Structure formats: structure tokens, C-alpha cells
Structure 1
Amino acid sequence: MSDRTISTRERIIEAAGKLFHAEGIRAVSVDAVAEKAGLTKRTLYYHFRSKDDLIAAHLEARDQPNLDVFKRWFHATEGDVADKIQGVFNSLAASAMHPKWKGCGFLRTSVELIHMPGHPAIIVGRAHKKRVEDWLCNVLEGARTPEDARQLARQIVLLLDGAFSVVLLHRDASYMRSAGEAAALLIRKTQP
């Protein structure tokens, strides 16, 4: 693959991401993405077989950067694992206060595609959420059994995704901080 091809593909994904974030995936046409990227629809279809593939590629491009942000916030927070996990929630709360914040793109996409459980973007979203859970499981293991760490990681994912939804609904970032407090309490109560 040449540098030009990579550049064009990335430009399409970037244009799609801006539009999807602003308007939602169902509201955005392939024509609009091509126009935003400054190329023809034919060129777009050269790089992506369908809008479905483009949506999935957009989420794949967000997967690792989103997880890296969680890791960065975790490591930037002082204290024990409970404090650090709470720090991730607090950083999310600060992000949620931005007027353009729209929650979790993986969750928003799953809502738009709820009737299509086999959609490529749903599969990418599911994989992303699993990677977040796996990361949490790794940081929680320590003296816990792998089974206990997995259970706790799942509970924290539920707090995280629930907080994304409620904060988006109420436009009140304090729900994210409350979820972080609950996560820290849960971690401390389950310490061996």
C-alpha cells in the first residue's frame, strides 16, 4: 500500500468521524463523507466496499486511541488502583463538561444499529468494550484470582457504560464522578 493510499483512506475515516460525531451514522450519507474528504464517491468506494465497512473502520480507528486515553488517565492519577480507576471516571467527567461531548461513540453506534447485531461496526464495538474489560481485569488482578478480577472488571464496565448513558441523557457530569466513587468503593470492598 502506498503512502498516498494510506493518506486517502485516513482522510476518509477522519471526514467520516467528524460527520458521524456531529450527526450520527445513519444521518450521514456516503456522498457527504466524500464531499467532506474532498474526493469523489468512486474514490471512497475504492477504499471501502460499503458505508458499513466505513463505519466499522471509523470505530477501529478509535479503538486503541480511546483505550490509550484511559490508560494515560489511570497512570496520571496518584494513589492505589481504586484511586486510579476513580481518576479515569473523574477525567471522563471533565471531558463530559465540554459542550461538544457526545458520550461513547461505540455505544451511540450500537444504539443506531440495534436492529443489526451482526453489523461490522457492532462487532468492532463489542471487541473494543472487551478490550477495555480485559485492561481493567489486568490492572485489578494483583492479589485477586483471575475470576474475581474478571467479575470486578465487568462490574466497573457496567458502571462506566451506565455513566456514559446517564451523563448523556441528563447532561450532568456529576453522574460520572458518582460512578467513579462507586467503582473505587467496589474495588476497596473486594480487596483480598
Structure 2
Amino acid sequence: MPDAQSPTRKRIVDAATRLFYAEGIGRVSVDAVAEEAGLTKRTLYYHFKSKDDLIAAYLDGRDQPNLKRMAGWFDAAEGGADRKVEAIFTNLARAARHPKWKGCGFLRTAAELASMPGHPAVKAGSRHKTNFEKWLAAELSARGVTAPHMLAREIVLLMDGAFSSMLIHHNPDYIRAAGHAAATLVRARISSTQV
């Protein structure tokens, strides 16, 4: 049984991450991942029993780094919860200007696997979105915002809508607009507690 933390496994996941994010999971073969990793296909299959497991590992590997990045943006922002939430969107809009930015890898993968809701990668994407939503609800709750769980879900809907619009328009203004809407929702919840 291969070690889940082995350097070879990490090399394969890193190679898959570069290729899957840049080109999409359907356009990248296992052969291409093995070549990118500088390994044989046999070695790849020693560490992953299928391409599906490799795709799930790719998304699982993006979960914590993405959450940490967004939490960092939130924590670094000055002001109340509204400004902190908006800072996540502002930084996403800035990241979206980079030529290698391809949108949300979790949503893009889920779209490619829309007819396979039980796929391990779809489940990995669902876990990531749920983790973000729970983290955000906890942050909002800690700042005294009313109905933090519903508000976190509304913000996730704005974020995912912005990501979807970016796939069509390639214009970061959609992310900034979603951030403005999210901040407005947060302010409305804060105002309702002060009445």
C-alpha cells in the first residue's frame, strides 16, 4: 500500500494540479500526468487506483490552501465583518486578472462531472464549499452577525455566481460586484441587530 504522504504521490498530485487546473480534467490523460510528473504510468497507478481517485486528490489538495488564503484575506482586512467579507472578493478579483487564473477549480470540475454526482471529485468539491461556508459562518457569528449560517450560504451563492459569470465574461468586475452585494448583506444583518 503506497504512503499517502510520499514524495512520489505529492509529485503526481502536483503534476495533476497543474494540468487539470490549466486544461480541465477531461482534456488531460493519465499519460500526460505521468509525463508531467516524470514518472511511468505504472508508478502513477501504484499510487492511484484510477484517474477518478487522482482527480479527487487534486481537489482535496486545493481545499486547505484555498481556505487558508481566503481566511488570510479576511483577517488582514481592516474594518467590520462587511469589509472583511468584501476583501475576499476584492482579492479574488485581483487574482482573476492573472493570465493563468481559470476560475474555481472545484466548480469547473463539478461542471465536467455534472452527470456523475457520486464521483469522488464532486464529493471533494462539496466538502470544500461546505468547509468554506462553515468557516465563514463561524467568523460572522464571532462578530455578532445575526443568522450567520444563512448569511454564509448567501455569500457562497454570490461567490459561486461570480465565478460562473467569470467563465462567460472573463471580467473581474463581476467578482467585485458580488463582493459589494455580500458586504451589503452583512451590513443589513448587522443593522437589524442594532434596531
Counterpart of 1:71 in structure 2 is: 71
Counterpart of 2:87 in structure 1 is: 87
TM-score (norm 2): 0.93
Counterpart of 1:171 in structure 2 is: 170
CA contact (8 A) 2:113 2:119 kept: yes
Q: Distance in 1 between matches of 2:34 and 2:88?
A: 36
1:190 alignment partner, SS class? helix
Percent identity reads 58
Is 1:33 the counterpart of 2:33 in the alignment?
yes
1:140-164 CA-partner distances (Å, limit 9, x unpaired): 114345xx11110000000011011
Q: Distance in 1 between matches of 2:67 and 2:185?
A: 22
Q: Offset at 1:23?
A: 1.2
Give the 3 Å change call, closer, same or farther, for CA 117–2 of structure 1 in structure 2: closer
Give the 3 Å change call, closer, same or farther, for CA 127–2 of structure 1 in structure 2: closer
1:107-159 CA-partner distances (Å, limit 9, x unpaired): 000000000000000000000000000011001114345xx111100000000
List runs of 5+ in structure 1 lacking aligned partners: none
2:114 alignment partner, SS class? coil
Counterpart of 2:106 in structure 1 is: 106
Q: Distance in 1 between matches of 2:20 and 2:124?
A: 16
List runs of 5+ in structure 2 lacking aligned partners: none
Counterpart of 1:150 in structure 2 is: 149
- Give the residue type in structure 2 aligned to 1:156: I
Report the count of equivalent residues.
Answer: 190
Q: Distance in 1 between matches of 2:26 and 2:63?
A: 20
Q: Give runs of ≥4 in structure 1 deviating > 6 Å.
A: none
Q: Offset at 1:168?
A: 2.3
Counterpart of 2:186 in structure 1 is: 187
